[in-house]
Structure 1
Amino acid sequence: MAMNRPGKSAIVLSSAPLQLILYLTGVYYVFYFLSTLGMLIYKSRVLSYPGDNLTLEVCLLFLMAGLEMLRLYSGMRGNLQEREGYVGINMVLTVPTVMLSVYFLIWQTYVLRADVIVNALLLSMYGLGGLLAFITLARFTSAYT
Structure 2
Amino acid sequence: MAAARRVLLQMLLCLGGLYSALYLLATLLLIAYKSQAFSYPQDHLVLDLTLLLLTGALEAARWYCADPEARVRSELRSLLSRLRTMLCFAFRHRAPGGTKGNLTETELPLAASLVLTVASSLLTVYFLLWQTLVLWADSVLSATLLALHGLEAVLQVVAIAAFIS
Assess same fold via TM > 0.5.
yes
Instruction: Write the distance in 1 (CA, Å) between the matches of 2:4 and 2:164.
Output: 10
Corresponding residue of 1:121: 144
Once the two structures are superposed, residues 96-131 of structure 1 have per-residue CA deviations (whole angstroms, 9 ceiling, x without a partner) of 111100000110000000000001111110111111
- Structure 2 counterpart of 1:106, which letter? L
Corresponding residue of 1:75: 98
Structure 1 unaligned segments of length 5 or more: list them: 1-11
Corresponding residue of 1:39: 30
SS of residue in 2 equivalent to 1:49 = coil
Larger Rg: 1
Residue from 99, 110, 118 that aligns with 2:133: 110
8 Å CA contact 1:14–1:82 kept in 2: the answer is: no
Question: What count of residue pairs does the alignment treat as equivalent?
Answer: 131
Corresponding residue of 1:91: 114
Instruction: Write the distance in 1 (CA, Å) between the matches of 2:151 and 2:135.
Output: 25
* 14 and 127 in structure 1: CA distance in 2 versus 1, 3 angstrom threshold: closer
- Structure 2 counterpart of 1:37, which letter? L
8 Å CA contact 1:84–1:140 kept in 2: the answer is: yes
Corresponding residue of 1:3: none
8 Å CA contact 2:111–2:160 kept in 1: the answer is: yes
8 Å CA contact 2:106–2:163 kept in 1: the answer is: yes
Q: CA deviation at 1:69?
A: 2.3
* 14 and 112 in structure 1: CA distance in 2 versus 1, 3 angstrom threshold: closer
Q: CA deviation at 1:13?
A: 9.9
Structure 2 unaligned segments of length 5 or more: list them: 67-96
Equivalences for residues 56-71 of structure 1 within 5 A = 56-71=47-62
- Structure number with the bigger relative contact order (C-alpha 8 A, sep ≥ 6) is 1
Instruction: Write the distance in 2 (CA, Å) between the matches of 1:41 and 1:13.
Output: 41
